[in-house]
């Protein structure tokens, strides 16, 4: 159920962002007769409603408690500060620096347990938000490519 909510939230966020973006693009294009003010306002309203709904759906999974220490179960930890190479060259090449750096930011972080000094990987709120943004951008470029293809 939580996974379903998460996927639904990602789609709502994507649709909402696309509505808002296309309204903005239409408004900035002064020659465009396709985007009268009322239409743009409706798009923004729909987009913001979708974004609000996606926030409600995604918030519980973004704020879900991070993994506790696998050795002693303590939730207290510090950043391990070990530099791990999280750059995916293939993805950066294909999706540009934005997708590449979001992918890096969405990877689990290595942390050190304060109680027993064990090192382990866990997701944080930051990595989860980056993960959501990564999916929204990927879905947006997929939908954009599909629209271009069938136009
Ligand atoms: Zn521990």
Mean pLDDT in consecutive groups of 10 residues from the start of the chain, 151 residues:
90 94 79 70 91 94 89 89 63 76 89 92 92 93 87 77
Q: How far is the CA of 120 from the centre of ligand 1 (A)?
A: 9
Q: How far is the CA of 68 from the centre of ligand 1 (A)?
A: 8
Q: How far is the CA of 110 from the centre of ligand 1 (A)?
A: 13
Instruction: Give the E-state strand segments of 25-99 in sequence order.
Output: 77-79
pLDDT at 117: 92
Among the candidates 64, 97, 115, a domain finishes at 64
pLDDT at 34: 60
Q: How far is CA 1 from the centre of its chain?
A: 19
With CA atoms as reference, report the closest residue to 36 among 21, 46, 23: 23
Q: How far is the CA of 12 from the centre of ligand 1 (A)?
A: 38
CA-based torsion, 98, 126, 43, 4: positive or negative: positive
Q: How far is the CA of 124 from the centre of ligand 1 (A)?
A: 17
Helix (H, G, I), strand (E, B) or coil at 119: strand
Shared domain check, 47 and 76:
no
Strand order in the sheet with 109-113: 77-79, 109-113, 119-122
pLDDT at 86: 61
Domain containing residue 33: 1-64
Residue 80 to residue 92: CA distance in whole angstroms = 25
pTM: 0.81
pLDDT at 57: 94
Residue 62 to residue 64: CA distance in whole angstroms = 6
Q: How far is the CA of 77 from the centre of ligand 1 (A)?
A: 8
Q: How far is the CA of 111 from the centre of ligand 1 (A)?
A: 10
pLDDT at 83: 56
Shared domain check, 99 and 88:
yes
Residue 107 to residue 121: CA distance in whole angstroms = 9
Among the candidates 48, 64, 80, a domain finishes at 64
Q: How far is the CA of 74 from the centre of ligand 1 (A)?
A: 5
pLDDT at 41: 85
Query: For the chain, how big is the Rg over CA atoms in Å?
Result: 19
Among the candidates 64, 94, 117, a domain finishes at 64
Q: How far is the CA of 113 from the centre of ligand 1 (A)?
A: 5
């Amino acid at each position: 159920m939580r996974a379903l909510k998460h996927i639904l939230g990602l789609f709502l966020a994507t649709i909402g962002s696309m509505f808002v973006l296309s309204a903005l693009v239409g408004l900035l294009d002064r020659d465009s007769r396709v985007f009268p003010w009322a239409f743009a306002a409706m798009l923004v309203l729909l987009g913001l409603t979708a974004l609000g709904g996606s926030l409600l759906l995604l918030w519980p999974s973004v704020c879900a408690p991070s993994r506790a220490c696998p050795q002693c179960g303590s939730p207290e930890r510090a950043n391990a500060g070990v530099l791990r190479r999280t750059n995916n060259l293939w993805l950066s090449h294909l999706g540009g620096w934005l997708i590449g750096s979001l992918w890096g930011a969405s990877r689990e972080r290595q942390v050190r347990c304060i109680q027993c000094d064990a090192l382990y990987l866990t997701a944080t709120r930051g990595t989860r938000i980056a993960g959501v943004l990564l999916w929204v951008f990927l879905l947006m470029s997929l939908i954009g490519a599909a629209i271009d293809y069938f136009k």
